[in-house]
Amino acid sequence: MNLYVIINIAVMLGLFFWLYRLQQQHVKFTRRVFLALGLGVGFGALLQFGYGSGSEVINQSVEYFNIAGKGYVQLLKMIIVPLVMVSIISAILKLKDGESLGKISGLTIGILLVTVAISAIIGLMVAQLFGLSAEGLVEGTREAERAASLLANQGTAEQLSIARTLVDLIPANPFLDMTGARDTSIISVVIFSTFIGIAGLGVHRKQPELGDKFDSFMQVAYAIVMRIVTLVLRLTPFGVLALMTKVLATSNFADILSLFNFVLASYTALALMFGVHLLFITLAGGNPLQFVKKVWPVLTFAFTSRSSAATIPLTVQTQTRQLGVPDGVANFAASFGATIGQNGCAGIYPAMMVAMIAPTIGIDVMDPMFMATMLATIVVGSFGVAGVGGGATFAALIVLSALDMPVALVGLLISIEPLIDMGRTALNVNGAITSGFITSRLLGETDMDTFNGKQELELDMESVS
């Protein structure tokens, strides 16, 4: 092993030890997460400038950093399916009637789809405002390879029609979906869990004694799963440090600067959509500044991990413990929000791709009929978008293929994909949280005392830190 690689690993271990010492000293969880974020940015930037982009030393060092970074994300993914299942089933059992279930799921999905349509419009307009175009982009070796790969897979994307996407949401083999084998696995697990919960309600009505036993079983299962969640979340500062170090160390700053206009446009669109979320929060009776303060730590994790699915446990806890959203609504919003109506990946990004490509093939993107077609395609295509890094590429392939447009541009933007994907993921998670809060407000079930409370977000860490 190269001496410099050993030094880099030793520095990372030293930073880990410092974070551990802070944990032992009972420094607040939120502060440790933000400190880890800053350390990751600083250490990653030093590696980038010290060794240069694409350095073999960086590549070998990142392989070891991934033990903590990717390992942490995989642990979060490990708990997603059991958490979603016990949360959805327990929430339905508490409802005691199917009418409430229908209202919660209908409102949650409706809000997610409305916001993804708005995000698509914003993405289209911002691309026009910045004058983004597919013409004149420099195609490097790595980008050419990615473009060729996407073109080779375009046939698969074309087979993913809107109708087929909706059919694929239905779980033919729920045990297969519990392994996360498909892009739509999480939403399929939600559907299967909903059936179990509804069946549990039926047993309660016809065989109360058995229903009570099932309730007790689910209470035990929920307690155990939440304990596992807590144990995994204790590792958050270490995971954030490793993940952020990797992002900064492996980013190609020269490529980022050459495509700076697209990066700037993307974050402008993301910021505008964040503003729309806050407007909805305000209209629902919430204080937008209070909302931002409470969700910021969770958005920070989503930003660094680039995984909406991995953030589900944090999304649920933020809604219930900080925003006053009931368990049932919070779990539905977090689970559906990880795969449906993702504002950043399934809304803004595909719309910007369309806006850049359409003029090169003689299509007027401002034509009302074309815009209506694009919006319908994006909204329906947002079902089942993968909640992990790369979901935006999947969404763009579906939309561009459905509109009969070339997909090579998606490959040409590979060099800046990680940088933009971080912001998109944070927006996706914020959209899920927003849908949960608005749904609970419309149903009159939000605990506004909790929402207006000044307690900092600790994600149940105080008792285990």
pLDDT per position as a tens digit, 349-374 = 889 988 888 887 888 888 888 888 88
Contact 315, 299 (CB under 8 A): no
Are 120 and 343 a contacting pair, CB within 8 Å? no
Rounded to whole angstroms, the Cα distance separating 224 from 317 reads: 16
Q: Average pLDDT for residues 86-100, to the nearest whole number?
A: 74
Mean predicted confidence (pLDDT) in 51-77: 86
Q: What are the structural domains, with CATH classification, of the chain?
A: 3-452 (1.10.3860.10)
Greater pLDDT, 396 or 423: 423
pLDDT value at residue 429: 94
Burial, 234: exposed, middle or buried (Cβ in 10 Å; 0-12, 13-18, 19+)?
Answer: middle
pLDDT digits (tens, 9 = 90+) for 383-396: 756 555 556 776 77
Contact between 43 and 68 under an 8 Å Cβ cutoff? The reply is no
List phi, psi (to 5°) of 421. -65, -30
137-163 burial, b at 16+ Cβ within 10 Å, e below that, comes to: beeeeebeebbeebeeebeebeebeee
Q: Reply yes or no on whether the pLDDT at 11 is more than 70.
A: yes
Mean pLDDT for the stretch of residues 230-241: 85
Distance CA(418)–CA(256), nearest Å, equals: 10
Other CB atoms within a 10 A radius of the CB of residue 290 amount to: 16
Average pLDDT of 288-305? 88
- pLDDT, averaged across the chain: 81
Q: Where are the alpha helices (DSSP H) in 308-459?
A: 312-322, 327-337, 349-357, 368-381, 391-402, 408-412, 417-442, 448-452
| pLDDT tens by residue, 322-339 | 999 988 888 888 878 877
pLDDT of residue 381: 74
151 falls in which pLDDT band (50, 70, 90)?
very low
Find the range with the poorest average confidence among 128-137, 166-175, 385-394, 435-444. Answer: 385-394
Task: Tell me which of 157-166, 173-182, 284-293 is least confident.
Answer: 157-166
**Cα–Cα distance, 273 to 268 (Å, whole number):** 9
